[in-house]
Structure formats: structure tokens, C-alpha cells
Chain A
Amino acid sequence: MLDQESLEHVRQILTEYIISHQESFYRLAFSYCKNQEAALDIIQEAILKAFSHLSSLKDPNLIRPWFYRILVNESLTYLRKNKRLIPMLEEEMIPSTFNHPDLSTSITLCQEIDRLEEKLKTIIILRFFEDMKLEEIASVTNSNLNTVKSRLYRALKILKQSIEEESG
């Protein structure tokens, strides 16, 4: 158990970490819920959860996977509670300024990532957009390294297939 002093120290670290990474949190939350209000709610919930479970952060060096785990869980909880709302909001991930023909494959890729089931999507976003190591992803998703590898493989395979179908 953390004593009072080190608990205060960890609180300080967490506060600074949250303030400096809030934009990344927002992008991740938004890519799940596709809705500004909802993404802000998710972040707010995640922050409150993080502080109330501060004692589960055993090593401040692991703050990133620890916080992302809470954030991903909050996002998934939101999705489960609001299942029916999602289809209406689907196209929002792609900003309209990006409707340039040269970027079509990348946009297709983004859309296909959006269509992945959540487990696979989480791994793709963390690996390719947030540049996390597979070990860190394992800790975010509370699974082991081999599970992450297998999901990554499955996701890449699905993406490749659907992009080929789209362009061919």
C-alpha cells in the first residue's frame, strides 16, 4: 500500500500526465464513440476513475498503459450502453478537408479501421496511431503478448482484405 507522501506524489504525476496528454485521450475516445459530447464524458469519467483507483497504479513508470486501460474500458462501457446511437454518427471520423482523391486509400483504411470490432480496433489504434509497444498494449488490454500478436494479425488480415475488395 502506498503511504500518504508517495500517494500525493503519484497524484501529482497523474495530474501532469493527464493535462499534457488530453488531446491523445480525446482522439482515442472519439474514435470509439464518434461524438464530441460523448468523448468528453468518457474522458471525464476516466479521470475520476483513475484518481479513485490511484492505489492500483503500482509503478508510476507504467502510467501510460494504466491510464489507457481505464480510458479504453470507459469507451467500451459507453459503447455498450449506447449501442443503438452509433450507426447514425458513423462518418464523423473523417474530417471533410481530407476528401482529396490522393488520400482515398488512407481514408478507406481509416473507415475500415472504424468497422473493426472494438478489440481489434483498440490494438490497431494503439499500435499504429499511438505508437505503443506490443507489451504496453498487452497491459492496456489486460491480455498477454501472444493474444495481442494474434489480434494484431487478425486485424491486419481483415483490413487488407477489405481494402483489396474496395479497390478491386
Chain B
Amino acid sequence: MNSWKEAKKIYHQIEIPSQLTQTVEEALSHAADSLHNQKRRHQWTRGAIYALAGLCAAFIFSVNVNSAFANTLYDIPIVGNIARVFTFREFQEKDDFKYIDVKMPALEHTGKTNLESRINYEIRYQIDRIIKEVEVRAKEYYDAFIATGGKKSEFIPIEVFVDYQVTCSNADLVSFYITKSESFASAYTEQFFFNVDLNSGKDLTLQDLLGSDYEKTANEEILRQMKQRHQEDPNIIYWGQDGDTEKNIPGFEGISEDQNFYINEKGNVVITFEKYSIGPGSIGIQEFEIPTDYGN
């Protein structure tokens, strides 16, 4: 749209009143004057914040250590010596700001202690990080709600769900992902993917699975499927591809170095893109199955 250029001109023609400079100067000098008083006030606030932070830390610590906090501690009888991903712990936490529901997986029976502790540590680390992040954001959100005249009783706490899905599990590899979703903010959905080679104990890369040409292979296949999906359903559009009339939003530009993917039950690589990352929200999370002949 060429009218954008003109619109920008019009915007920049908004008349600047002569009082602006004076207003800004007054504000600046006022800010300088009040600095002294403000310092004292800040010190008090900071003390309160530290106390609060201490409480939060104690809370998170107890969630992770005290098993009484955890509603369910799974104890499943051993079924053969097959490596598997199982629900290690489930817990819910609720306060005025938030409701968190977590199903935490763990990997076991791989015969490799290092591998298990690496993966299980990573899982725990990510879930802890999610909880802390929600904690902070929920509080900020609550404060902003109250500060703008909201009533305490009308505040709807942020709801967060953490769950996992095992997509492939056999003698050679295990693939699963953790999903964090939120009740009314789908943009905060996050997924973490784990693809483990049980023989080497290492993470599987796209290069391991698709060969040295993996980038080309994946990109071509993704573009082909995008085209196909758009042809089959014109409502499915990808930014920067056929049917995108905006051409203003950066879309798919090839798989990234830390591309998200999992392995499905057929052993095929499935490349996934977060909602909004390659197209409008209406198309949701997009997945592309790439034929894979790894291990055959």
C-alpha cells in the first residue's frame, strides 16, 4: 500500500505546540528535584520486595523438595527393562494471582545414569523456569489490574498447564515434548522437545536424522507442503507465501539452527512451528512431517 508513505507524512505533520519544550524542561527539573525524596522511598520498597522474593523462593523450594506438597508421587511397578518416559510427579498450585497445573515427566530405564540425569535435570529446569516466570508475570498483571482501577474480587488468576506427550519410544530412541499453555493467552504457549538417541546417549539432531543435506531436504519439503495446504484450503496462508496479501510480516525463511521437531511413531521427523511464527494465529501450530529413513 503506497498510502502508508502518505499516512506517515500526515502523522509527522501533527502540529507540535510551542509549549512542548517548556513542558519537557519542567518535567525534567521536577524529576531532578524529587530524586532525593524518592531515594528514601525506594529503599523501603526494595526491602519489601526482597522479603517478598524470599517468600517466593521458599515456596518454589518447597514445591520441589517436599513431597507432601506434590499431590501425587507416581510409583509405577517396573515393566521390563525398556527405557520410557513416565509421569514423575503431578502437582497443582493456586493463589490469588495464578493457578498452575503441572504434569512433570522423567526418563528412566535407559541403563545410562548420566543421560537420565541430564534429561531429567533439563525437564526440571524448564518447569521451574516456567513457574518462576508465571509467578512474576501474574503478580505484575495483578498489580497493573489493581493500579488501573480493577477490583481485587474481579481479578481472574492466570491459569497455566504443563503437560507432555511421548511421540516415539523404542529400543533406539525416545522422543517427547513438554507443552506449557495458558488459559486466555495462547501466545504464551511454549513447547520443549526432547529427542534422545538411547545408544549414544546424545540428543538427536536433524542432521543425524535427515543426513547432511538436512536443511535443503527439510526446507523443500516444508515449502511443498505449505503450497499444498494453501491449495487445498485457501484459508490457510503463510506469511510471505502464495495468498499472503500483506507482505509486511516476516514468515518462514528456512529452518532455524535450534528448530523445534519431534519424531513420530513411524520414525519420521516432524518439524513444528509455534503459533504466529510463520502465519496468522488462525492456522495455529503448524507441523510438517518429513520422510525419514534413519536407522533403516
- Interface residues in chain A, defined as those with a beta carbon under 8 Å from any beta carbon in chain B: 15, 18-19, 22-23, 26-27, 30-31, 36, 40, 43-44, 47-48, 50-52, 55, 77, 80, 93-95, 97-98, 103, 105-107, 109-110, 113, 125, 128-129, 134, 143-144, 146-147, 149-150, 152-154, 156-157, 160
Contact = CB atoms under 8 A, between A and B. Distances in A.
B226 to A, nearest CB: 17
Interface string B41-60: 01000000000000000000
A95 B38 CA distance: 41
Given A109-B3, A150-B276, A143 B187 contact: yes
24 contacts: A19-B28, A27-B12, A43-B23, A47-B24, A47-B28, A48-B27, A50-B31, A51-B32, A55-B42, A77-B148, A93-B14, A94-B10, A103-B10, A106-B3, A110-B11, A128-B8, A129-B7, A146-B274, A147-B187, A149-B277, A150-B187, A153-B239, A153-B249, A153-B280
Most buried by B among A47, A143, A154: A47
Interface string B264-296: 000000000011110011000000000000000
Given A94-B10, A129-B8, A153-B246, A146 B275 contact: yes
Contacts of A93: 14
A30 B14 contact: yes
A146 B42 CA distance: 35
Interface residues of B, number: 46
Given A43-B20, A109-B1, 20 more contacts: A22-B21, A26-B14, A27-B16, A40-B19, A40-B23, A47-B27, A48-B27, A48-B31, A93-B14, A94-B10, A95-B14, A95-B15, A97-B13, A98-B10, A106-B3, A109-B7, A129-B12, A143-B187, A149-B239, A160-B245
B77 interface: no
A111 B215 CA distance: 45
